[in-house]
Amino acid sequence: MRILFPLAVAALLLTAPAVQAQTTTPSPTATSTPAQRKAAEALLSTMQVEKTLVTAIDRVMTMQIQQRPEIAPMEPEMRAFMTKYMSWSSLKDEMISLYAAEFSEKELQEMTKFYATPPGRSLCRSKAS
């Protein structure tokens, strides 16, 4: 149970915006345009979501092994599982669809502009670390 709790917390923190978008929009791809998808991808890239996910996986793995050293031999399998289901490559398309369905192209562009500013980059760094 101690292993699952931090994994669940990490998953919730990383996908909270996507989950909220999903609950308000039943079919993300049906309600978004290619321009919205492109703007959503630019936003997620600017927000450094890929780096945040890598950091989260590493932290969860480190924390789990510190709490339960006896699972250290299982780290490769656990890391493979996390990478398969929580990595940018596995979540990218869904996250793009969810953001594109939730926000207009202009909203996505404005958010991207913010995250490209020094305060926006600082916020991204604080989320990733």
pLDDT of residue 11: 53
Angstrom distance (rounded) from CA 119 to CA 27: 33
CA 99 vs CA 2, 52, 78: distances in Å: 32, 17, 29
Mean pLDDT of 95-99: 96
Phi, psi of 25 (to 5 degrees): -130, 110
Mean pLDDT of 17-27: 49
* Residue 103 lies in domain: 4-128
pLDDT at 125: 83
d(Cα 85, Cα 92) in Å, to the nearest integer? 11
- Checking if the pLDDT of 19 tops 80, the result is no
Q: What is the mean pLDDT of residues 106-115?
A: 97
Give percent of the chain with pLDDT exceeding 70.
75
pLDDT tens sequence across 51-72 = 999 999 999 999 999 999 999 9
> What is the pLDDT at residue 30?
59
- Tally of structural domains, the chain: 1
Examine the pLDDT at 31 and tell me if it is beyond 90: no
Model confidence at 25: pLDDT above 70: no
